[in-house]
Structure 1
Amino acid sequence: MERAFWLRAPGECELRPVALPAPGPDDVVVRTLYSGVSRGTESLVFRGGVPASQHAVMRAPFQEGEFPGPVKYGYLNVGVVEQGPLTGRTVFCLYPHQTRYVVPASAVTPVPDDVPPARAILAGTVETAVNAVWDAAPHVGDRIAVVGAGMVGASVARVLAGIPAAHVQLVDVDESKATLAAALGVEFATPAAAGGDLDLVVHASATDAGLARSLELLAREGTVVELSWYGDRRVSVPLGEWFHSRRLTLRSSQVGTVAPARGTRKGYAERLAVALELLADPAYDALVTSECRFDDLPVALPRLISDEPSALCLRVMYDST
């Protein structure tokens, strides 16, 4: 009998026994090595903040149950294939927190040999960053800010840091994130100290203040790419002031849809492959700020969400690791 992490109701979580289905000829049985908690999205689910209109949109690929709960939710899982095609390979899957699981072989992606399994849990987040950068379409030498140094914002900053001659600053109200910025190879600034006259801002703070500051930082004809997911919260956007006179653009980026510039020839699999290739870079280790054992997850997750506002990814370790 295996076990899975469930949100029983908003704010209440537990481990439940799971009986695995018999695998078919095209299925794989995966033993989980690590899973990751994406603090932003999973905290929204934890507090029951997914609006009814978005229940279908927010549904994870292998989610069980319905919002607001009971629900088995999660999408950062790395394990080893014990049966079926790819036996013996370490793979990434968009699967919740569970000790073992059975999925179609097409649902898993082999982890490259040069990417440690413990780091590979970030593949889903870095894949979001890849799509955001495709949406943003930065140019060589651009002046860029990423506002919000959470998991997604930090991942975007690292991807953008690879653009030749680009000047990238990571902006956050938490001054301790300067250490994170240094590890990612970008500059750090508080919102008040951030340099303006920018070509591009990627907003990922999920706050009204962060979005307003993102617009303020733009040069004429500049663009804000909005990555934040606000759930059931309404957002105030300052479309007066400089918005029209500077001819600014506010554009959404949505992880479920490949950027139009790439969509005709690249899908999810290609995007995830790029993310896993990027994860050979040890700089991404800075995104994992805490660890716990799977048995302790029902205690660790509420603590992470309520008591550690600067936390990024919580890495969950299983008995096999």
Structure 2
Amino acid sequence: MSTDTPIDQTSAFWTVAPGTGELRTEVLPALRAGEVRVRALYSGISRGTESLVFRGEVPASEYQRMRAPFQQGDFPAPVKYGYISVGVVEDGMDDQAAALRGRTVFCLHPHQQRYVVPADAVVPLPNGLPAARAVLAANMETAINAVWDAAPSVGDRIAVIGAGVVGTLVAWLCARIPGTQVELFDIDPGRAAPAAALGLVLRTPDAAATECDLVIHASGSAAGLRSALAMAGFEATVIEMSWFGQQAVALPLGEAFHAKRLTLRSSQVGHLPPARLPRWSYRRRMELALSLLVDDRLDVLISGESDFADLPHLMPALASDGAGVLCHRIRYASA
């Protein structure tokens, strides 16, 4: 995109109909007290959720709960949706906002060249975290919440099913707990190299472990969830991270589910676990996510990069066939 766009104009990506997107020119609002104007450097595509949104597969019952912080429009379309943006604060009105001028920040904002948001909606990147890697922040935040929900313990035998970005990050976090035996499962052998770079072992489902203390499912497939139930040991917990949208999922609850007294629990990043609420805020969780990304090895989770101008052609391809895709980064002209 041209770098000489007028300061009061911006371009944003909209899903205009299920399976179709376009770039729209918008007028930026004037800065008010407590607000900052951000110039995007990178954004990221959240493969699972954004694909469902782009295909128009958000159930009507979830239209309100699924709204992103700075979403415009309504499901199914037209809608401006997304929550992974890294940029530089260009300006701010009052002292708090002005103090952020020139800082590189993360914001839960859709794909857009420039935007105006409250100053407390941006989180400065810690020293040592490059902007290009910070697009993993929302995925890391989701992984943190899942580990909190799962509550793994020292020495646990843990299976993580689904070696996408979130599943791999969950396995990476769990493997840092002393004594844990963590195995990552995926049907795509191409995920072995990124896993190995993070010190993880990737296995295919036919080599599935059994009698696990904890199983975390993040594959986005019904078959993966069925495998998760099969891997769980007696009185074990299965954490479900995948969101299936409108897809119905059939499970073998007539097999050993009851005899093994399994617990099947959901994990969703939109809410902090109850045990954390007295001490943790969403901002503190995001600051933790950003601090954990100060590790060069995590670059292996970014599998590609495209220009912002290519988004209308890129999204249909990613939403229909994400084979081999981990995090796909969007680069803006100012990056």
TM-score bracket for this pair, using the shorter chain length: over 0.9
Whether 2:122 is the aligned partner of 1:114: answer: no
Whether 2:329 is the aligned partner of 1:315: answer: yes
* Matched letter for residue 76 of structure 2: P
Separation (CA, whole Å) in 2 of partners of 1:209 and 1:308: 17
- The residue correspondences of 1:1-321 to structure 2 (distance < 5 A) are 1-84=9-92, 85=97, 86-321=100-335
Separation (CA, whole Å) in 2 of partners of 1:261 and 1:190: 34
2:15 aligned counterpart, secondary structure: strand
* Matched letter for residue 135 of structure 1: D
* Matched letter for residue 70 of structure 1: P
Separation (CA, whole Å) in 1 of partners of 2:69 and 2:271: 14
- Computed over aligned residues only, the root mean square deviation of the Cα atoms, in angstroms, reads 1.0
Give 1:310 shift: 2.4
Separation (CA, whole Å) in 1 of partners of 2:283 and 2:192: 33
Give 1:242 shift: 1.4
Give 1:132 shift: 0.3
Q: Summarize deviations over 1:206-257 as a string: whole Å, max 9, x none.
A: 2111111101101111110010101111111221211111111101111111
Q: Which runs of 5+ in 2 are unaligned?
A: 1-8
Q: Name the % identity.
A: 58
* Matched letter for residue 274 of structure 2: P
Is the contact made by 1:32 and 1:318 (CA closer than 8 Å) also made in structure 2?
A: yes
1:285 aligned counterpart, secondary structure: helix
Separation (CA, whole Å) in 2 of partners of 1:264 and 1:235: 35
* Matched letter for residue 21 of structure 2: C
Separation (CA, whole Å) in 2 of partners of 1:164 and 1:286: 24
Is the deviation greater in 66-75 or in 183-192? 183-192
1:316 aligned counterpart, secondary structure: strand
2:283 aligned counterpart, secondary structure: helix
Give 1:283 shift: 2.3
Is the deviation greater in 54-63 or in 193-202? 193-202
TM-score (structure 1 length as normaliser): 0.98
2:82 aligned counterpart, secondary structure: coil
2:334 aligned counterpart, secondary structure: coil
Correspondence for 2:4: none
TM-score (structure 2 length as normaliser): 0.94
Separation (CA, whole Å) in 2 of partners of 1:269 and 1:308: 31
Q: Summarize deviations over 1:174-204 as a string: whole Å, max 9, x none.
A: 1111112112211111111122211001101
Is the contact made by 1:135 and 1:261 (CA closer than 8 Å) also made in structure 2?
A: no
Q: Summarize deviations over 1:277-311 as a string: whole Å, max 9, x none.
A: 10001222121111000111111221222233221
Is the contact made by 1:157 and 1:184 (CA closer than 8 Å) also made in structure 2?
A: no
Is the contact made by 1:36 and 1:121 (CA closer than 8 Å) also made in structure 2?
A: yes
1:315 aligned counterpart, secondary structure: strand
Is the contact made by 1:135 and 1:260 (CA closer than 8 Å) also made in structure 2?
A: no
Give 1:155 shift: 1.6
* Matched letter for residue 197 of structure 1: E
* Matched letter for residue 172 of structure 2: R
Q: Which runs of 5+ in 1 are unaligned?
A: none
Is the contact made by 2:52 and 2:319 (CA closer than 8 Å) also made in structure 1?
A: no
Give 1:106 shift: 0.7
Is the contact made by 2:41 and 2:332 (CA closer than 8 Å) also made in structure 1?
A: yes
Q: Summarize deviations over 1:43-80 as a string: whole Å, max 9, x none.
A: 00111000000011111000000111010000000000
Q: Summarize deviations over 1:98-150 as a string: whole Å, max 9, x none.
A: 00000000101011011110111111110010000000000011111110112
Query: Which runs of 4 or more aligned residues in structure 1 lie more than 6 Å from their structure 2 counterparts after TM superposition?
Result: none
Separation (CA, whole Å) in 1 of partners of 2:256 and 2:281: 36
Is the contact made by 1:38 and 1:151 (CA closer than 8 Å) also made in structure 2?
A: no
Correspondence for 2:5: none
Is the contact made by 2:37 and 2:117 (CA closer than 8 Å) also made in structure 1?
A: yes
Separation (CA, whole Å) in 2 of partners of 1:299 and 1:205: 25
